[in-house]
Structure 1
């Protein structure tokens, strides 16, 4: 029986993955380089994978001012993210979970400042009993640590947690944590081959939460 829901953040609640890619693409273009999704996909859902700064320097054949580039990229990503609304179905599924008495958590490979900022910006922070980020674990997705940490925080055993994810690394992390997973491909990840989930939906509002739970039961 599902007793808790654990949500990814980037690309699932808010499409911050498009700004993540576009901000790097803009910086690469300024250096006369390009960055494709095929390459960037290894950065999605994790802080331990593809390093865009390393890759830029490899393409250029020389070092850049890494602090300046990272700061500029963060500014670009933030500005682009301000234009992104909550994705369809986010508020309704969180409200349904509240009505059904299901605890909710966020488990994200982004840093805490980033996640907390947008949860508050979109006025949904109060729905989550726990928020677990890269600041809380040694290994981010595809390792299971974030999801296991969220389960511990909620005091719910992993088999009774249901994960909602959009990225390959996140889906693999949910599997490794022993949790069932609903896959919601995002604007960026819909172009990728995703690992199998227990259920695949086009959006969070495709089926009411009680219908999702009934399907998985």
Structure 2
């Protein structure tokens, strides 16, 4: 039996990808980069902003990259206030997690300001033992480091944890840390998530297949 459940944030705890995609599609046009949903899914979703900006807007300085990232996320917080919705079944799962006295953490590539904002809007800011933010670490996802840091903070081993992730970037990170990972198909297909290493694919937290791995098994 696992002792902790670790959650990604964007696309896992809350539906946010349509908001992020819409903003990036509009803003990147100003730099001559026209993107569609497929490009977003393959190159932006789940990644640390400066990482993909260095790749696709290499003409920008580090200062310009950081400013663009900061401005975009500030705009996200401005327009997302009334649009954030938790994934179906999230609060039932969190109630079960608390009843079972399991530890919990958020592990995200979102900036700290976004993570704090989203969790406050969802009234979950004080729920977690820890919130791990990739930009505050030596390496962000897809490197295993963020999930390894979560394990250290919770004082558990990889085989005592379970991860929920929605992006290839996040799944590579959690699988690389040796943690059993459940993929959530909010943004990517079941096939893509499985190929990245997810052991079980669900649509949301109401999926009855969770009971096959001991989650919500007494509800």
What TM-score do the two structures reach when normalised by structure 2? Answer: 0.82
Structure 1 unaligned residues grouped into runs of 5+? none
CA distance in 2, matches of 1:99, 1:208: 20
Task: Report the CA distance shift for 1:70/1:153 in structure 2 as closer, same or farther (over 3 A).
Answer: closer
Residue 39 (structure 2) aligns with: 39
Structure 2 unaligned residues grouped into runs of 5+? none
Q: Does 1:3 align with 2:3?
A: yes
Q: Of the two structures, which has the highest relative contact order with CA contacts closer than 8 Å and spacing of 6 or more? A: 1
Tell me how far 1:35 sits from its aligned partner. 1.2
Residue 13 (structure 1) aligns with: 13
CA distance in 2, matches of 1:56, 1:174: 28
Q: What is the aligned residue count?
A: 211
Q: Does 1:204 align with 2:205?
A: yes
Residue 106 (structure 2) aligns with: 106
Report the 3-state secondary structure (helix = DSSP H, G, I; strand = E; otherwise coil) of the residue aligned with 1:159: helix
Tell me how far 1:84 sits from its aligned partner. 2.0
Report the 3-state secondary structure (helix = DSSP H, G, I; strand = E; otherwise coil) of the residue aligned with 1:142: coil
Report the 3-state secondary structure (helix = DSSP H, G, I; strand = E; otherwise coil) of the residue aligned with 1:141: coil
More moved, 67-76 vs 102-111: 67-76
Q: Does 1:144 align with 2:151?
A: no
Report the 3-state secondary structure (helix = DSSP H, G, I; strand = E; otherwise coil) of the residue aligned with 1:80: helix
What TM-score do the two structures reach when normalised by structure 1? Answer: 0.83
More moved, 87-96 vs 36-45: 36-45
Residue 161 (structure 2) aligns with: 161
CA distance in 2, matches of 1:50, 1:112: 17
Tell me how far 1:80 sits from its aligned partner. 3.5
Residue 78 (structure 1) aligns with: 77
Question: Could you give the per-residue CA deviations for residues 148-178 of structure 1, whole angstroms, max 9, x where no partner exists?
Answer: 1111111111111000000001111111101
What CA RMSD, in Å, does the superposition of the two structures yield over aligned residues? 2.9
More moved, 18-27 vs 158-167: 18-27
Tell me how far 1:72 sits from its aligned partner. 4.3
Task: Report the CA distance shift for 1:69/1:131 in structure 2 as closer, same or farther (over 3 A).
Answer: closer
Task: Report the CA distance shift for 1:152/1:54 in structure 2 as closer, same or farther (over 3 A).
Answer: closer
